[in-house]
Amino acid sequence: MTDPGATYYAAFVALSIFTLKAVNEEVTEPYMDEPFHVPQAQAYCAGDYWKRDPKITTPPGLYVLSLVLRKVFMLKCNLAMLRITPLLSLLVLPIVMTRLLCYHQRVRPPLSLLTPTTEAVVLASFPIAWFFGFLYYTEVPSLVFVVVTVVAASQRRHWLAALLGAVSCTFRQNNIVWVLYAYASSQLMYLRFRRVPESAKMKARLHDPDALVASSGDVLKLLWSLFYVIPDILPAFIPYALVLAGFGAFVIWNGGIVLGDKSNHVPAFHIPQVYYFVAFSTIIGWPALLLGQDGARALVQEVWTRMFGSRRNAIVTVVASLIMGVTVRKLTIHHPFLLSDNRHYTFYVWRRIFLLHPSVPYLLIPGYIACAWAWFIRIGRDQTLLQNLLVPLFVLPTLIPTPLLEPRYFLIPYILLRAQVVDVPLWAALVEGLWYGAINGGTMYVFLHKERAGVGRFMW
């Protein structure tokens, strides 16, 4: 069956342009974070590169990109034209997502750039990415540059990947983590499929068994074997090391990662943030989880087996639940922004679920474990143990320091996680697209047409 991705992409482009037109007609003044970003971009358009709003916490990549597009397309620097920057990034997203999906599926991408796959178009419609493709925010350009960094690294074009990764950090500082992920992901694939002479196999091969058959004993063997393969993967790290050194110099010069308003962005030790990410990914990505080739029943049975299928598994689940309970008790953060701003989904989730009863955060713990196992099983169909653990490992330094429950922080980790599910049938991808579309349609309708006096517009 021919993939109708090109047709869906044309519809995606048309719908996105129509949506931006509607946003510009209804939201004629900068909204939420736009009052900070828009004047800064306009200062760049006027040639004033030294003016900076102290409330802005991110580097100037968004404004530089707008400046480049202004020069190329002769655009004005008003609000409507500036919003074209994230829109164009959104329109590029299916194209680069096609390359990322084909990398994980180990198939050749389409010959034409303008024929993305249906699954890539669906992932570009992911609610967080799609919504912020119409506001002057950094989210979508940041995502695009992270994805192209991973794709370039997968093609062993490491100097290009490092350059693109450095550019991605000009949109969001913590993208440095995903630059290192791009390197690690490419090297794991290289180590998995390289040819090793028989005489060197015992020493030079990484012990990295298939994810779904690996045991706890394999972890120690894996860590030990890492020492033997480091010399082989070290040369490819050189360009990334330069980016890492530059980032370190920036942190020293700036006195921290955050630019501008540091008082409202103090790092914290927020372990439950990882639990929220797992739950969010499952709620949003349930079609990819449940509608695989083996079906929902097989997945549920496998999750149950891994949690309670033996005495050992049950003990591990109980111990993990107790440890997670302690982290929920000691490390849950009731951020003042979360409690006071009723213009976001998270306000109502927190009020109506987490604060419903003191026991609720603890009752959710088995659900977090089940969801984590479900993702482990789904992305482990055709991956090694270390490949399976790579996104979770890199999620930790990006989410744990963030005290605020904010779905935008989940955007890049979710896309990189979801891209590793390699056996989603076309019909299931279409179901996923309909699910995303329902969320997008409802959220955008309320944002545009249900503004509340004295409160503002509801959004992610």
Q: Is 218 part of any domain? A: no
Separation CA 91–CA 140 (nearest Å) = 10
Structure tokens at 232: 């082989």
Separation CA 43–CA 56 (nearest Å) = 14
User: Per-residue confidence at 257, pLDDT binned at 50, 70, 90?
Assistant: confident
User: Per-residue confidence at 196, pLDDT binned at 50, 70, 90?
Assistant: low
Separation CA 98–CA 107 (nearest Å) = 10
Q: What are phi and psi of 459, to 5 degrees?
A: -155, 180
Q: Is 395 part of any domain? A: yes
Q: What is the pLDDT of residue 454?
A: 83
Q: Is 332 part of any domain? A: yes
Decide: helix, strand or coil at residue 292.
coil
pLDDT > 80? residue 199: no
- b/e per residue, 49-64, with b = 16+ CB within 10 A? eeeeeeebbbbbbbbb
Residue 391 DSSP label? H
* pLDDT, tens only, 327-372: 999 999 998 888 888 999 999 999 999 999 999 999 999 999 999 9
User: Per-residue confidence at 294, pLDDT binned at 50, 70, 90?
Assistant: confident
Structure tokens at 82: 């500036």
* pLDDT, tens only, 396-409: 999 999 999 999 99
* pLDDT, tens only, 262-293: 776 788 899 999 999 999 999 999 999 999 88
Q: Is 347 part of any domain? A: yes
Q: What is the pLDDT of residue 107?
A: 92
**CB-CB neighbours of 314 under 10 Å:** 12
User: Per-residue confidence at 1, pLDDT binned at 50, 70, 90?
Assistant: low
- Which candidate, 159, 156, 151, places its Cα nearest to that of 419? 151
pLDDT > 70? residue 203: no
User: Per-residue confidence at 313, pLDDT binned at 50, 70, 90?
Assistant: very high
**CB-CB neighbours of 94 under 10 Å:** 25
pLDDT > 90? residue 424: yes
Q: What is the pLDDT of residue 318?
A: 98
Decide: helix, strand or coil at residue 106.
coil
Please tell me which residue, 294 or 243, carries the higher pLDDT value.
243
**CB-CB neighbours of 3 under 10 Å:** 17
Lowest mean pLDDT among 304-308, 429-433, 449-453: 449-453
User: Per-residue confidence at 18, pLDDT binned at 50, 70, 90?
Assistant: very high
Q: Is 220 part of any domain? A: no
User: CA angle, corner 57, sides to 45 and 337, nearest 5?
Assistant: 125
Q: Kindly state the average pLDDT of the residues 425-436.
A: 96
Does residue 105 contact residue 97 with C-beta atoms inside 8 Å? no
Q: What is the pLDDT of residue 191?
A: 92
Exposed, middle or buried by CB within 10 Å (0-12, 13-18, 19+), for 386?
buried
Q: What is the pLDDT of residue 111?
A: 84
Q: What is the pLDDT of residue 75?
A: 85
Q: Is 272 part of any domain? A: yes
For 333, the domain range is: 267-424
Separation CA 101–CA 96 (nearest Å) = 9
pTM over 0.85: yes
Structure tokens at 27: 């939201």
* pLDDT, tens only, 33-83: 999 999 999 999 999 998 888 889 899 999 999 999 998 888 889 999 999
User: Per-residue confidence at 237, pLDDT binned at 50, 70, 90?
Assistant: very high
Q: What are phi and psi of 344, to 5 degrees?
A: -135, 155
Average pLDDT, the chain: 93
Q: Is 290 part of any domain? A: yes
pLDDT > 90? residue 260: no
- Which candidate, 217, 93, 225, 239, places its Cα nearest to that of 157? 239
Which residue reads 């997670």 in tokens? 324
197: left (phi over 0), alpha (psi -120 to 50) or beta: beta
Q: Is 308 part of any domain? A: yes
How many folded domains does the chain comprise? 1
Torsion of CA 78, 81, 84, 86, to 10 degrees: 0
Q: What is the CA radius of gyration of the chain?
A: 22
Torsion of CA 260, 264, 270, 275, to 10 degrees: -90
Separation CA 431–CA 262 (nearest Å) = 42
* pLDDT, tens only, 83-141: 999 999 999 999 999 999 999 999 999 888 889 999 999 999 999 999 999 999 999 99
pLDDT > 80? residue 160: yes
